[in-house]
Amino acid sequence: MKRILQGLFVIILLASVSFTVHAQCKGFAKKICKLELIPFIHDGNYHAAILTEGEEAELYKTFYSGQDYRIAVCGSEALGNIEFQVIDAYKNILYDNREHNNSRIWDFRLESSQQLKIAIKVPVGKGDSEYPASGCVSIMFGFKEK
């Protein structure tokens, strides 16, 4: 019985730590990254996760023709420059921030509505720490009102 209670305590503790970290990351997105969208209007969604050096993440989003959009990607200072690419359904790279001085934003308009993949990569840093850096990474979307 004691082992069951200890196991349950560990599960509850891990769940609460995970929830707290996720909430802090969402707060980072709201306070820091959302500002990158100005003068665009935020779409109301907060896409944020804790990533570690060397990790990658993908997000799919539908964009509509004739609309002006902004994608803003930001991360904790400990992570350095976050790399991102925007890729269409045919695996064509529409944008790669490494080719644009590691820009954190991309403004664009599509000729046809389509679903795009936003691929994020946290490069491995050159730090002296024996442990890889970890921190919040956020992808925000904005649009211009017509």
Q: Report how far residue 127's alpha carbon sits from residue 132's, in angstroms, rounded to the nearest whole number.
A: 8
Residue 18 confidence (pLDDT) above 80: no
The pLDDT-based confidence of 112 (bands split at 50, 70, 90) is very high
Q: Where are the beta strands (DSSP E) in the chain?
A: 41-42, 47-52, 56-63, 68-75, 83-87, 93-96, 105-109, 114-121, 134-143
Question: In the predicted model, what is the mean pLDDT of the chain?
Answer: 85
Domain 2-143 listed as CATH 2.60.120.380: yes
Q: Report how far residue 58's alpha carbon sits from residue 69's, in angstroms, rounded to the nearest whole number.
A: 18
Residue 111 confidence (pLDDT) above 90: yes
Above pLDDT 70, what percent of the chain?
A: 82
Residue 5 confidence (pLDDT) above 60: no
Q: In the prediction, which pLDDT does 11 show?
A: 46
Higher pLDDT among residues 98 and 13, named by residue: 98
What residue segments make up the domains of the chain, in order of their start?
2-143
Q: In the prediction, which pLDDT does 23 show?
A: 61
Instruction: Give per-residue pLDDT as tens, 60-82.
Output: 999 999 999 999 999 988 898 99
Q: Report how far residue 18's alpha carbon sits from residue 11's, in angstroms, rounded to the nearest whole number.
A: 11
